[in-house]
Amino acid sequence: MFIKKQNFLIKKLSILILIFINFFIDYNKVYATTFTESGYTLDIGVKQLESSIIDYSQNSDVNTWSIHPFNFRIGLNNSIDLQLVFDPYITQKSNKKINDSYGDFQISIKKKIWVNEDGKSAFGLMPYMKLPTADNRIGNNKVEGGIIFPFSTNISDTLNLDFMFETDYVYDDDEQNFDIEFIISGLLGINIQNSLGLYSEIIAIKSNDVDYKLSNIIGFGATYSLSKDLIFDIGLNHRLLGKEDDFNIFSGYTFLY
């Protein structure tokens, strides 16, 4: 799972069906930076870097900038890849206070457990763990983790569909205990031209904590491919319901080598 920001790691479940519009240049290999994971894995030895050059979010009076958060992926074999996620620099401004730190470190392994004969659909399993490397003023100093079940299918030459179910074990700062959170997300991608695509993203979140209300986030953006191995993207995420970030703006790239 590529996490653009720490804020998006804390999420929850809903009985809602979600639709996204995202553009894949080579569906099995290179895809733009989005929240929803693909069911596909990298081939053995292939490396991929997904990053936001800059990422800004606002939550009430808290403004957060992340510089070059990244997800580095490498194929361990043709059905398993390793993912390392890190925020090298985060700055938060709130009530005239400024906190600076690097972020938490996340490690995950994705296993492609099913793919159809023509390779147009795939289903995977992806456990992950977050290690508390961030300063206490930025992070919560707790080990968290979860498991993700991504599914991808190629509807046509121009349309792609992804769905993802995720369950997380995360710390609740308000009640000072751990909650179980659930996320459902999905993706519908459209190819506008050979190098241009558009996307929109919705994330629905719920928790076993009865005090936590449903959260819902929708995102829009565009991707542009300079080559089959390099994609640039720009996007906006906006909260519809709940207590997640009011909005999030980012611009980044995906590079395969």
Integer CA distances (angstroms), 238 to 58, 107, 187, 219, 225, in order: 10, 27, 16, 6, 25
| Count of other CB atoms within 10 angstroms of residue 257 | 8
Q: Residue 220: which residues within 8 A CB-CB, separation 6 or more?
A: 21, 198, 199, 200, 201, 235, 236
Bridge partners of residue 10, in order along the sequence: none
Better-scored residue on pLDDT, 25 or 161: 161
Judged against a pLDDT cut of 50, whether residue 101 lies above it is answered with yes
Residue 12 has pLDDT above 70, yes or no: no
3-state secondary structure the chain: CCCCCHHHHCCCCCCCCCCCCCCEEECCCEECCCCCCCCCCCCCCCEEEEEEEEEEEEECCEEEEEECCEEEEEEEECCEEEEEEECCEEEEEECCEEEEECCCEEEEEEEEEEECCCCCEEEEEEEEEEECCCCCCCCCCCCEEEEEEEEEEECCCCEEEEEEEEEEEEEECCCCEEEEEEEEEEEEEEECCCCEEEEEEEEEEEECCCCCCCEEEEEEEEEEEEECCEEEEEEEEEEEECCCCCEEEEEEEEEEC
How remote is the C-alpha of 221 from its chain's centroid?
Answer: 14
Assign 33 a pLDDT band (cuts: 50, 70, 90).
low
> Residue 151's pLDDT is what?
95
User: Among the listed ranges 49-53, 62-66, 216-220, which one has the minimum average pLDDT value?
Assistant: 216-220
CA distance 37 to 152: 9
Exposed (0-12), middle (13-18) or buried (19+): which is 227, by Cβ within 10 Å? exposed
pLDDT at 25 over 60: no
State how beta strands 230-241 and 247-256 pair.
antiparallel
The amino acid sitting at 210 is V
pLDDT surpassing 80 at residue 221: yes
| Amino acid type, 215 | S
Q: Name the residue with higher pLDDT: 16 or 204.
A: 204
Q: What percent of the chain has pLDDT over 70?
A: 87
Report the CATH superfamily, name and number, of domain 6-256: monomeric porin ompg (2.40.160.40)
Asked if the model's pLDDT at residue 91 lies above 70, the reply is yes
- pTM of the shown model: 0.82
Q: What confidence tens digit (pLDDT) does each residue in 122-140 have?
A: 999 999 999 999 988 888 9
**Average pLDDT in the 111-117 region?**
92
- Break the chain into its structural domains and give their ranges: 6-256
